[in-house]
Structure 1
């Protein structure tokens, strides 16, 4: 292996270690605890080394968010592809989304709550466009193309709202299944008018 290849591999490993450490710190202590200084101490590198990889905290949060988006997209795709019908896919994908949000709180916050450097919309990085496309695929069998994007945004917003309120303890635990059923029923009623 050439010295250049080894240096590139070591840099990539250090880059990933910063991302992993930030995510782990956020999972145990919250995103407020994630600072460049604390990360440098945890991974035993100087702050300038961290800054050689990331411009600051929002860039680190963005990297955690992108990894989370990729994992969320994988979960949504698996749920959609395992469905027996387009109607079944609505429930399976909504459940996968809400489960991901509940099981990955630090990553979910990085993706949709924390300040990041990520652009959303047409200029979004490919992983974000892929996640949106996965949710949009749910409505292709039902929706008119003219309102497909708006319907997808409303569905995403609905799932995000439920996920956020549930994770913060503002919804009744015993009503989770009922909420999910109502959400899917509302989606179906809206597209079958």
Structure 2
């Protein structure tokens, strides 16, 4: 970013606040990527598939941002009343497509959490070398086929 560490710390109170700022910007970018991918898809199954691919692609292309969002302590509240809007909006971007495929009697928010947790696991394990990257497409198909009630 072409700023020295002292310059960064003159704008933020510490590492935790920097991570939080990166996470909030990342949440905005993730929401935009998911919405762009799902907007172009035709039908619920295609939207869910596009959402999964967009999420995993984001995690792969932006590993430091993804870590700030989900691995590092940025001092942000998740899934609480005081959760910052960019984080709420990123979840809403997932819910917009996943809520329609949750199935009868399943709370859309709960289904979205489970689907997101599955995507997070795939992203994290693939990046750590614990899952073969060449099987990503098959994993996405399996996830969509088994979880989404389409």
Give the TM-score normalised by the residue count of structure 2: 0.90
C-alpha separation between the residues in 2 aligned to 1:157 and 1:67?
Answer: 21
Q: Show CA shifts across 1:127-162 (max 9, x none).
A: 111110111111232335761111111011000000
Q: Show CA shifts across 1:27-65 (max 9, x none).
A: xxxxxxxxxxx712xxxx4xxx724x2121000011011
Give unmatched runs, 5+ long, in structure 1. 1-19, 23-37
Give the TM-score normalised by the residue count of structure 1: 0.71
Alignment-derived partner of residue 108 in structure 1: 66
- 8 Å CA contact 1:21–1:39 kept in 2: the answer is no
The alignment's C-alpha RMSD in Å is 1.9
Give unmatched runs, 5+ long, in structure 2. none
The one of 75, 80, 84 equivalent to 1:125 is 84
Alignment-derived partner of residue 94 in structure 1: 52
Aligned residues: 148
**1:77 matched to 2:32:** no
Higher helix share: 1
Larger radius of gyration: 1
Q: Show CA shifts across 1:94-134 (max 9, x none).
A: 00000000010011001100111111113211111111011
